[in-house]
């Protein structure tokens, strides 16, 4: 699903890091070595048809690499 984050992501929490991430090997192969963390937060998103909604979003993040694989996990 395509979407665009509007504003800041609020209530950010780390839900896994290091070897606790199932996709760690894939992340390292695709984006490089780093201290990978899986995070979640609440954000306002804009959908392709122009509608806006609040959603819980999940992503992976590493220092020097940034946020990758953002996805909407739940609509609020």
Name 3's Cβ contacts closer than 8 Å, sequence gap at least 6: 45, 46, 47, 48, 55, 72
**pLDDT score at 2:** 84
**pLDDT score at 57:** 97
Structural domain boundaries of the chain? 4-75
Mean pLDDT of the chain: 94
Is the separation of the CB atoms in 20 and 41 below 8 Å? no
Q: Is the predicted pLDDT of residue 75 greater than 90, yes or no?
A: yes
Closest CA to 24 of 14, 15, 34: 34
Q: Which pTM does this prediction carry?
A: 0.89
**pLDDT score at 1:** 61
């Amino acid at each position: 699903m395509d979407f665009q984050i509007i504003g800041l992501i609020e209530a950010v929490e780390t839900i896994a890091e290091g070897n606790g991430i199932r996709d760690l090997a894939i992340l390292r192969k695709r984006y490089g070595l780093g201290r990978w963390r899986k995070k979640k937060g609440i954000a306002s998103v804009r959908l392709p048809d122009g509608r806006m909604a609040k959603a819980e979003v999940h992503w992976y993040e590493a220092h020097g690499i940034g946020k990758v694989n953002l996805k909407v996990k739940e609509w609020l």
